[in-house]
A and B are shown apart, each in its own frame.
Chain A
Amino acid sequence: SSKQSEKQEGQITVGFSQIGAESGWRTANTQSIKSEAEKRGVDLRFSDAQGKQENQIRAIRTFIQQKVDVIAFSPVVETGWQPVLEEAKRAGIPVFLTDRAVDVTDDSLYVSFIGSDFIEEGRRAGEWLAKKMDGKAKIAELQGTTGSAPAIDRKKGFEAFIADYPEMTIIKSQSGDFTRAKGKEVFEAFLRSPEGSEINALYAHNDDMALGAIQAIEEAGKKPGTDIVIVSIDGVHDAFQAILDGKLNCTVECNPLIGPQVFDAVEKYLAGEELPKRIQIEEGVFDENIVTQEVLDKRQY
């Protein structure tokens, strides 16, 4: 209760439920939200769901009980939000989604979704690869965690794009769980398989798996980036370093630094402005041609 009494007049309280801290990308995402809240003097209630949707639902209920002004969260999965969002609506608390969308029948349950489009990311990766390989590639794919929204959508976007290129085929595809260790282990198995010698391109659903695969390629005596062209998604610091080193060819940015945009949206909404249902984040595609030491030094995550 002491916390409440310190609250200044007019200060807004925002409850934010984060998925967890499963990657460097996510940590940067959290950091961006927190520092932006501090900068703007917002009273931020932060809850870490440790990867469980149940925890997120509970956190949102707690926010409702604590009567916060605004709720924002990055959903663990897309489904299952209808009941709790209805509750928030009844309590009159506006909800903002970040990073991932939700599947609800009534889209008045949330104000706006601020984040990237995973399908678009997959499409861009495909587009870059098609250009780089002149529409001819035998591709190995490292998928994200089975059943997760980014894994499904990034696969969908990529496949949809290369469907137009008959000579681009995915000859190997496995889940690498979004981790470096799995990425490496799985790619070793790829290389050793009967089709292994044919692989000349790798599409990884995130940078970490690509970084693991790069090690596997090197250990197998091949040159990553040359013998096998590699494109991945996220754009974390280590990936940029790998591009500089010539080991990674391209990373499609998925920008975690959405704090400013989220709080802009919140403030606009509270000021009575109409907001679009979807606010796209600015994201780029970074390949060997763009990334220089300067670009790397400017990266915040």
Chain B
Amino acid sequence: METKTFRSRAATKIVWPVLALALLILVNVLLDARSFNSFTDAFREGAFLHISFKNGYPSGALIDILNHGSKVMILALGMSLVIATGGVDLSVGAVMAISGATAAVLTVRGLPPTVVIPIALLISMVCGLWNGILVGMLKIQPIVATLILMVAGRGVAQMITGAQIITFHSPVMEFIGNGRLAWLPLPFPFILVLIMLFITWVSTRKTAIGLLVESVGSNPTASRFAGVRATSVIMMAYIFSGFCAGIAGLIAASNIKAADPTHAGLLLEMDAIFAVVVGGTALTGGRFFLGGAIIGGILIQTLTTTMYAQDVSADVAPLPKAIVVLIVCLIQSETFRNKLSKTWRRKQS
């Protein structure tokens, strides 16, 4: 019985972000109910939970969340591994811009997607490798090491496009961020998320990579003494993060059918870190929870979509955001829950 309790640790970690997400959706439903003056209309047109079928594909706020949240979710997968090693990758936004810019410029030059996509992803992985070398081999502190590419990367992206927004036309490239598959009518970016989640899960949990990452993050010295090649583990994590950023960059560019080197992925690194931490992975490294990171990504996008849906003006939008972040943290804090249950029990007796 006890074995079971410990094995389901991942599950218990995920309970709290899921709970927070449910709470947020509930708030939306209540707000809808208030504006429609009735609860029965929770699914009617214009409501948060409403899903309609346009051209046979479902669409609605929930679908939008999956669609737009996909970039953060994919970034969060790579970020999970990096954070688990005890690091952090601030450059993902800039790498997104580089990836998108590369893809757009090559597409405009007339190269086929079969060439464009691999090149863009390869360049993103080179960016990851660069971070990995700085952190893993030169032992520069992750925040500054990746800050370098965060600053310089945007410049590189601007150089690639000549500081212009490059609009492209290519059915395949446009499909990445906007497409729908006939047999699985979810937004294609979200399908990419599922694929990436599966790939990440298999390659960390069905190999020993996950274990090695967690051991390096939890106690680097002891891991080294046990024969773990910490440097290569760290480098691998950053390369993977670069790869994820590359995919997210392709989605971002494809979404607007153009590469915007200055704004693509701007400030998304913070969202990704947020998603990872909400999902139960500690910033100090160690255990990571991929499912939690995905939920965290959905949570933050739900928050954004809620702002739009509820007409919260942009200047005060951070206020509800702050409150949600705080509530999520409180729910997650074991100390808080204990204190709460104690006061509750005291009241009962």
Contact = CB atoms under 8 A, between A and B. Distances in A.
Direct contact, A vs B (beta carbon within 8 Å): yes
Contacts of A20: 262
B256 A181 contact: yes
Contacts of B167: 238
Contacts of A179: 260, 263
Contacts of B55: 221
Interface string A207-250: 01001100100011100000000000000001000000000000
B294 to A, nearest CB: 20
B314 A146 contact: yes
A174 B256 contact: no
A24 B164 contact: yes
Given A143-B314, A189-B309, A215-B256, A180 B165 contact: yes
Interface in A65-105: none
Interface stretch (B60-68, B72-80, B122-130, B138-146): B60-68
B60 A194 contact: no
A188 B256 CA distance: 13
Contacts of A193: 46, 309, 311
A186 B308 contact: yes
Interface of A: 20-24, 27, 143, 146-147, 172-175, 177, 179-182, 184-186, 188-190, 192-197, 208, 211-212, 215, 219-221, 238
B186 interface: no
Interface in B228-250: none
A172 B162 contact: no
Contacts of B35: 194
Given A192-B60, A221-B54, A174 B260 contact: no
A197 B45 CA distance: 10
Interface in B127-170: 158, 162-165, 167
A208 B315 contact: no
A181 B263 contact: yes
Nearest to B305: A189
Contacts of B287: none
A265 to B, nearest CB: 26
Contacts of A143: 314
Contacts of B158: 21
10 contacts: A20-B262, A21-B158, A143-B314, A180-B263, A181-B252, A184-B255, A185-B68, A192-B60, A194-B47, A215-B256
B129 to A, nearest CB: 26
A189 B61 CA distance: 7
Contacts of A212: 256
A220 B308 CA distance: 17
Interface in B16-64: 35-36, 45-47, 50, 54-55, 59-61, 64
B218 interface: no
Nearest to A221: B54
B264 interface: yes
A27 B164 contact: yes
A181 B314 contact: no
B313 interface: yes
Given A143-B314, A146-B315, A174-B314, A180 B258 contact: yes
B165 A238 contact: yes
Nearest to A143: B314
B264 A181 contact: yes
Interface string B168-204: 0000000000100000000000000000000000000
A146 B315 CA distance: 6
Given A179-B263, A185-B64, 13 more contacts: A21-B262, A22-B262, A22-B263, A146-B315, A172-B311, A175-B315, A184-B255, A192-B59, A194-B35, A208-B165, A211-B256, A220-B59, A221-B54
A174 B311 contact: yes
Interface string B282-316: 00000000000000000000000100110101110
A193 B46 CA distance: 5
Contact of A180 (B260, B311, B313): B260
A56 B60 CA distance: 44
A194 B163 CA distance: 38
Contacts of B54: 220-221
B227 to A, nearest CB: 45
Contacts of B50: 192
A147 B317 CA distance: 13
Q: Which of B68, B256, B257 has most A Cβ within 10 Å?
A: B256
Contacts of B262: 20-23
Contacts of A24: 163-165
A238 B68 CA distance: 24
